Amino acid sequence: MNAYGKRFVRIDLVERSRTGEVWRAWDCEREDQCALKVLGDGQLVSARRILEDSDGAFAHPHLLSPYAMDESEALVAMPLVSGGTLAEVVSLRGTLGESAALMIARQILEALATMHEAGWVHRRVSATTIMCREDRPPVFAVLAGVSAAMPEVEAPDFPVVDTATVEAFFAPEVAAGAVATPAADVYALGASVLFTLAGPTALSDTTIPEGLSPEFARVLAAMLASDPAERPSAREALAQLPSVEPGSPALLSDGSRLEIVDLMPDIPEDFDPYEGEPPSVEPVPSPVPQRPPSAAIIEEVDDVEAPFDPPERRMPPAVSLVPPSPDEHDVDIRTGKRGLGERARSYDRMTLVGWAAIIAGMTIAIGAGAFASLTLIGFL
């Protein structure tokens, strides 16, 4: 994540269409470039299912499938392919020879067969969604645009909306408003391969060019049949195509070797996906709680070891001058017996002695008072 909590930081715009935008971006988690697709309306649910890929429909090296998703911003991340689309390769290098076109046809047919057999239809196959990887010579094609793919049973509810360049490769029935099917994908691939062989004229004329091997020309013509029922499936077309010898060079129509190069511009020098990242801040210790002033004053006194808070003043309980009388449930600690016994007699003796002392004291006080009074009278 960068300083703003985002995993993906956009670098520059690669493509804009009615289905969304594709950006070159920086993946802060992988620390590498990626292709970031901004999903259009209705593509979020499909993209989520493609990412989960529970049925293995997109587990193929020639399919450019997403590897991460940000649902909050409707984004999907895919590996960045820098070799350009087939349309760009033809525009920059010229038309392809049979060997290069055959390699691409076989690779994309393998990818479509995997999707179709899992019940999915791509719906956007074209020379602008087939891309070439620059790091896998002689030619390694991948089919992009899978965010518009749908299960075949759900395709009627989600019409395809795309740019004119993709619509130029649509099967006739789809261009007339019919629902895209696996047979429509096969036609779109046939039209894309024909475009690499004949150039832009193939967009209006589906005549197979001369000079192709009979097997290749026959399969390509079958893929371009106007009736969907006459087209082979992707797996059937793959089985009928001539094989390619391992290590065979991919050639252009003029016989020169096809070289796929990196078409992406360099990342701008001032681009920093982590720009503005806040510096690490040392944790601030919590303040020491202030003690009451009384505690500080008490600590200055040497003979006081701990703070002392005077207890709340309470009136002492009233004390009776008369000792409680023993009851029959008391136990004599000397004998261990319950009841009055000797203990009761002890209480009785104490009571009598006490009262006798009180009476004697009062008698002496009265007598002393009377003597003082008589003495005073006699003096007067």
What confidence tens digit (pLDDT) does each residue in 333-348 have? Answer: 444 455 545 555 555 5
> Which of 41-50, 183-192, 272-281 has the highest average model confidence (pLDDT)?
183-192
**141 and 130 Cβ atoms separated by less than 8 Å:** yes
Instruction: Decide if pLDDT at 116 tops 90.
Output: yes
Q: Which CATH superfamily is domain 8-79 in?
A: Phosphorylase Kinase; domain 1 (3.30.200.20)
Label each residue of 202-215 as H, E or C.
HHCCCCCCCCCCHH
Above 60 in pLDDT, residue 295? no
Average pLDDT, the chain: 78
Give the chain as a 3 state SS string. CCCCCCCEEEEEEEEEECCEEEEEEEECCCCEEEEEEEECCCCHHHHHHHHHCCCCCCCCCCECCCCEEEHHHCEEEECCCCCCEHHHHHHHHCCECHHHHHHHHHHHHHHHHHHHHCCEECCCCCCCCEEECCCCCCCCEEECCHHHCEECCCHHHCCCCCCHHHHCCCCHHHHCCCCCCHHHHHHHHHHHHHHHHHHHHHHCCCCCCCCCCHHHHHHHHHHCCCCHHHCCCHHHHHHHCCCCCCCCCCEECCCCECCCCCCCCCCCCCCCCCCCCCCCCCCCCCCCCCCCHHHHHHHCCCCCCCCCCCCCCCCCCCCCCCCCCCCCCCECCCCCCECCHHHHHHHHHHHHHHHHHHHHHHHHHHHHHHHHHHHHHHHC
Residue 371: per-residue pLDDT: 61
User: How large is the average pLDDT for residues 216-232?
Assistant: 97
Q: What residues pair up with 193 in beta bridges, in sequence order?
A: none
- Is 84-240 in the same CATH topology as 8-79? no
Q: Cβ neighbours of residue 93 under 8 Å, at least 6 residues apart?
A: 252, 258, 259
Residue 353 pLDDT: 61
pLDDT band at 231 (very low <50, low <70, confident <90, very high): very high
C-alpha to C-alpha distance for 226 and 249, rounded to whole angstroms: 33
* CATH code for the part of the protein at 84-240: 1.10.510.10
Reported as a pLDDT band with limits 50, 70 and 90, residue 312 is low
Model pLDDT, residue 3: 47
The CA distance from 67 to 229, in Å, is: 35
User: Which token pair is 292?
Assistant: 């009451």
Give me the pLDDT at residue 164, please: 46
Q: Name the token pair of 321.
A: 């001058």
Say whether pLDDT at 106 is over 70.
yes
State the amino acid at position 42 in one-letter form. G
Give pLDDT, residue 294.
41
Q: Is 131 left (phi over 0), alpha (psi -120 to 50) or beta?
A: beta
* The pLDDT value given to residue 359: 76
What type of residue sits at position 94?
G
Read off the pTM.
0.68
Least reliable range by pLDDT among 165-169, 205-209, 328-332: 328-332
Which of the pair, 7 or 217, is modelled with greater confidence?
A: 217
Q: Alpha carbon of 77 to those of 33, 118, 212: distances in Å?
A: 10, 23, 39
Per-residue confidence (pLDDT) for residue 324, from 0 to 100: 53
Sorted by where each begins, the domain ranges of the chain are 8-79, 84-240
Residues in the chain, how many? Answer: 380
